[in-house]
Amino acid sequence: MQQSQLQEDRLQYLRALVRTAPLDAGVYIWRGESQEVLYVGKAKHLKQRLQSYFNDKSIKTQHLLSKAHSVEFTIVSNEYEALVLENNLIKRYQPPYNIALRDQKTYPMIRITNEEYPRIMRTRTMIKDGSRYYGPFPGIQKMDAYLEIINKTFALRRCKPIPLKMRQSPCLYYHMKQCLGPCVHGLTSPKEYQEQVARVEDLLSGKIVQFSKYLMTQMQEASSKLEFERAATLRNALEAVQAMSVQQGVEDRNESRRDYIGVAGSDGLYHIVVLRMREGKMLDKVTFRFEGVGDDQEVLEQFLIQFYENEENQETDVVYIENPPQDFDLGRYFREERAMHLRVSPPIEDQDLRLIRMAFDNAVLDFARETSQESGLIDLKTALSMSKLPRMIEGFDVAQLSGHFTVASLITFKNGLPYRSGYRRFRMKSLKAGEINDFKSLSEAVARRFTKLINEDLPLPDLLLVDGGKGQVSAVYGVLEALGLHDKITLIGIAKREEEIFRPNESKPIILEKGSAALRILQAIRDETHRVATSYNQKLRHKTLYLEKLQSLDGIGPKRAKALLMQYGSLGAISRQSSLNIARVAKINQDRAKELLREVTILIEKESQEERDI
């Protein structure tokens, strides 16, 4: 398959995912090849926004799509909730494209500078200088309200010279008790000043309860000292902070560790969504696919016990569920059997009910997406005359370059979706140098895979797919037959020409309806096997090329070249290191390391020039 065709097939897969998006407001996440977060965005209408990516011809958007391999979304109640959740997720994941690729509309932020005595200022852009940023705010008025509280309550500097020029006497703000006077030696210390900055960060980080307690303590202290003007300022600040707290779903003033659970499903198959609130912010949405026997209450009970017995999930104070299991006291169970103080509760306040409904809406969305995949699996079962649904499918493909760097890929789909823990890569051992034999390579990879499954008594896939036609299917069938698995696994091949499906010992191919859910699943598996095999082949080629280029430099033999590549992976990554790091890894002195960095930079520039000349 040509690279361009592979890219087009991947885009078709992304379009299919986007078609399942709702029209609700929410947040979406583009993920890369290894499920890393590439970009977090928000939208008033998720489906419309995601579809617009495929019509956007800008270089930045096209580059993002070239790296994206999946997209997921979380629905919320309104656009502002989407903004706040988007910001929380960006802070958590720090996606690479959120710096270079933002929606056209930018929001104001508050910047705390990276100085010995930091300043606080407005901004709409982020600079990588160590400054800390808070926001975005939905409007300039909201941000200015925070700044007014900060300026009246905390005596932080407003003078601009950097570095600070020491004055003989402090400025007017000091005399107005609105600045600690760091511009005059001896009036304040960095420690005292940083304590004030830390309080400001509490406010801007959303720790409203903690910040309010601090203001209350300071107000009472000022009153006891008869500093009534200061006490009044603090009282006004406290009232303003409480009045400004926006009543919306994804941030609030409750600092307890809360989980909100929504459940959707039927016929023993359920999707359960857990929305996790920590320090007043929604930090995560966790989705689980759960199969259970019994009624909905029993399934929920089983899930809660399994989920919260995991140590990673035990730092939770209260779990909110619209209809908690009635026949069993889960709170008592966790308290007496697991020594956990976990409270399971129905919604008490309107805010709790809103978040439970949000969790439920997301569970319904996830369940609907899987149900679509489920119909494809049902169609596959029927078309291939299988005795059960192909819930676990494995796919193989081979890649090589003129008989060199021959590799095979194994990818796994679980319930019609990629299961990346089941991905494997193989370097061929049975081929001679320069030998081109895809049948032999495929047979070796399949033999190694299934010999391991047999020896370790691991579960077999329901369906095995190879990229190719009759020849590839026949070669793999021979391996399965030798291992005694030919009657335990359904084997098929998919040929690109007409998307024909071939089975062992059958001359007539199976033709699935174009655009059907069943064919889309097989195409996605075939394309993914090709992508993984091709990328591994390219990685080996580049690694060999990098080794050769590094070894061409004076004093860099095979051992040092291999050490550098093991540590950094590529010439580009090496060129971005400090001479200290290079000296440590390559075990050379720092002067030689600096020289090596210059030589690597020249190599990269020469390589780029050669590509341009082509």
What does the block give as tokens for 338? 């697991």
Cα angle 380-475-443, degrees, rounded to a multiple of 5: 100
CB 534 within 8 A of CB 400: no
SS3 445: helix
- Residue 63 CA to chain centroid, in angstroms? 18
Q: In whole angstroms, what is the distance from residue 182 CA to residue 158 CA? A: 10
Q: Is the pLDDT of residue 595 over 50?
A: yes
- pLDDT one-digit tens code per residue, 299-325: 787 788 778 877 767 778 888 988 887
Q: Are 123 and 238 found together in one domain?
A: yes
CB 237 within 8 A of CB 153: yes
| Torsion angle of the four alpha carbons 299, 302, 306, 307, in this order, in degrees rounded to the nearest 10 | 50
Asked whether residue 222 is assigned to any structural domain, the reply reads yes
- pLDDT one-digit tens code per residue, 537-593: 877 776 676 677 777 777 788 888 888 877 877 777 888 888 888 888 888 888 888
Asked whether residue 381 is assigned to any structural domain, the reply reads no
Asked whether residue 606 is assigned to any structural domain, the reply reads yes
Q: Are 136 and 233 found together in one domain?
A: yes
Asked whether residue 251 is assigned to any structural domain, the reply reads no
- Closest residue by Cα to residue 7 from 97, 67, 72: 67
Question: Residue 294: what pLDDT?
Answer: 52
Question: Residue 235: what pLDDT?
Answer: 81
Among 22-31, 150-159, 510-519, top mean pLDDT goes to: 22-31
Q: Are 453 and 578 found together in one domain?
A: no
Q: Are 401 and 509 found together in one domain?
A: yes
What does the block give as tokens for 468? 């190719």
**Number of independent structural domains in the chain:** 5
Q: How would residue 253 be classed by pLDDT, with cut points 50, 70 and 90?
A: very low
Give me the CATH number covering residue 414.
3.30.420.340
SS3 107: coil
H runs (alpha helix) in 489-576? 517-551, 558-568, 571-575
**Phi-psi sector, 505: left (phi>0), alpha (psi -120 to 50), beta:** left
What does the block give as tokens for 115? 């100085």
What average pLDDT score do residues 268-293 get? 77
Q: Are 150 and 174 found together in one domain?
A: yes
- Closest residue by Cα to residue 258 from 288, 287, 279, 289: 279
Which domain, by its residues, includes 403?
392-539
Peptide linkage before 504 cis (omega within 30 of 0): no
What does the block give as tokens for 97? 């494209």
Q: Are 17 and 77 found together in one domain?
A: yes
- Closest residue by Cα to residue 561 from 606, 600, 607: 600
Asked whether residue 331 is assigned to any structural domain, the reply reads yes
What pTM was estimated for this model as a whole? 0.44
